[in-house]
Amino acid sequence: MTEIKMLTKISLLIYGLVCTLFGVMTVFMTEMILTILGLPMDLIYPRMLGGIFFTIAIFDFLILIKKEWDWEYIKFGWFLLYAMIVSCLIIEGSYFVLSYPTLSASAIGFHVQDLLIMPILLILGIVSYMKQKE
């Protein structure tokens, strides 16, 4: 049984807090965000994404609360969490590049914010995974 290290716990806490923040934004403030970004009013898909964010946050917080869960138990979930960041980076980056001329200034700022936060989370996850393996 491998104990979860402190850096891994910090990584999960940060990832859980970011997912909670984005979950609140995409579920409860969807109309306001879409209006600010100048995007069409499609309320279903942003709220579904917010539900995914809430699910990830709940999983992160459960890992931190459940003391009997060890690293071997959560490793698969860990890979899913960080695989989602890689896929989101690819999708967000390609969408930003392809639709840049048509985006409003606030939408550009939103995408740049996402493209700055996600690599930081990814690097933190990779570093904490490497430290956890030691």
How many beta carbons lie within 10 A of that of residue 25, not counting itself? 16
Residue 129 resides in a domain: yes
Print burial letters for 41-65: b (CB count within 10 Å at least 16), e (below 16): eeeeebeebbeebbebbebbbebee
Residue 110 resides in a domain: yes
Nearest to 1 by CA among 95, 105, 72: 72
Report pLDDT digits (tens) over 26-57. Answer: 888 888 877 877 777 777 778 888 888 898 89
Residue 11 resides in a domain: yes
Residue 1 resides in a domain: no
Residue 103 resides in a domain: yes
State the angle between helix axes of 6-28 and 30-37 in degrees (0 to 180), rounded to the nearest 10.
Answer: 80
Residue range of the domain that includes 120? 6-133
Report pLDDT digits (tens) over 52-109. Answer: 889 889 988 888 888 777 777 788 878 888 888 888 888 888 888 888 888 788 888 8
Range with lowest mean pLDDT among 42-46, 61-65, 115-119, 125-129: 42-46
**Domain count within the chain:** 1
